[in-house]
A and B are shown apart, each in its own frame.
Chain A
Amino acid sequence: MIQDLVVNLLFIGYAVTVLLVFGTVLTWVERKQAAIMSDRIGANRAYVRIPFTQFKLIWWGLFHGLADGLKMMLKEDFRPNSYDRVAYAIAPWVVFTPVLLVFAVIPFGGTLHPGEIVPALAGWFGDKAYPLQIARLDAGLLVVFAFGGLTIIGAMLAGWSSDNKFSLLGALRAGSQMISYELIMGLTVLGLILIYGTVDLGAIAQQQSGVVLGVLPAWGIFFQPFAAILFLTAAIAENKRIPFDLPEAESELIAGYFTEYSAMKMGLFMFAEFIEIAIIGALFTTLFLGGYNLPFMTDAGFVLPGGREFPLAHGVVVVLQLVVFLAKVLLVCSFQILVRWSLPRFRYDQLLRFAWKFMFPLALINLTVTAVAVWALGAH
């Protein structure tokens, strides 16, 4: 019992740390990647001086994220004259909290046997095994969508409560856009659910460690390449980033639904956006890129298509899986940033037409074809 508590607290600490670090580091990745893409250097002036020496740590501008955070905390927390106090105060948290909660059901590693890793604790833990996941829920994917839907409420609250026309317009845009794309995200994932026969994310990740057609790893992207593209597009739209950043279109709405927010409240909106990039990366990795496993890798080691096996020690496997998961998430995040700095913004009518007249039918077709194929092949 105590053991479960200790392990789960460790997992929660790991997940929160990973998300906050990703939120900070992604601001740096965004700056640097955009700079390198456009022949620039990028932010590289912030430094931390080691006390009592003249030695400055610059680390390619990695400390600019810290400097930003510090600035946000120290700025004046300006509030508009007429606003709904309660809703205005809780709106950033309504946006920020569900984003963190989504990570609870995402598996960031295989199975952990604490007794095998630390022999000294073997007596205490016995042969207990823990999936590297905070909450192993049967309804994992449904929880993701439930919490994902909550952020809409936060955006609407922020826009409504700040009593500003720009905020209200931004909130309306955010609401209709997020609901439209939420639907498409759900439809694209339905195809995967048909194939895997479960909505438990841990089980989905485990099923992808096999091999299909002899050589290909059984990743979701090989079963559902179409759904992968649609899902990523809808997810970026859900996160309200360029090319779908209509709710906060700077040239039209100043900053959209968080126009009237300043200091750390505005910082929370930004931070939630960056963490959501990481969440989308984690979701995409889990659903389509084989989760925490390298190709041909299982919890026991590597099994190559030819039938050769390379068993690995349990500790090595756990560390490898943690690292591989983070690396895959970072790659997907990097791709999202590439999209953000390459494509121009939609017009608002184009955005909704794109959702309902282009992506929605495609998602339906994808679902129908998948259903027919699954029925014909008799799987599950």
Chain B
Amino acid sequence: MIVVLLLLHGLVAVALLGAITHQALSVLPLAAVKGQRTFVDRFRGVNGPAYATPIVVLFVVTAIGGALLYPQYRIDVRPALEDMQNAAANGVFEIKEHLIAIGLGLLPAYWLVWQPDNAQGVAAASSRRALTWLLAFFVWWGFIVGHVLNNIRGLLP
């Protein structure tokens, strides 16, 4: 059961990572493209507002999955890391749990700044960009740390 949950958690996280990365690049203030569009141009050329609600849902679902997996981590993985005297691994996970919690609290504001009613003004645009990049940072951190810790026994000698 825990393996199935771990796989589902990872799959939803992949979807979240893709969505937030598309949206984060879409708000970069780059000049309009003339001529042939590159891969990056097409990658960032998405309808950013359409991603906001799916990202909120995916973030919440991924966080709930992580919360359900957390007891197993606390019982099995963390003591093993402590036995290996790998404080850094515990540290990056601790930071992950903080960032995901802060990200959960950020979601209402993030969702609001992406609503069409709040699309006007310099403050709204800069806030939309900053909140999206903050959330992208949280998701990337969580994703990388989750994968490294999941595979840490194979990664370390």
- Is B truly associated with A? no
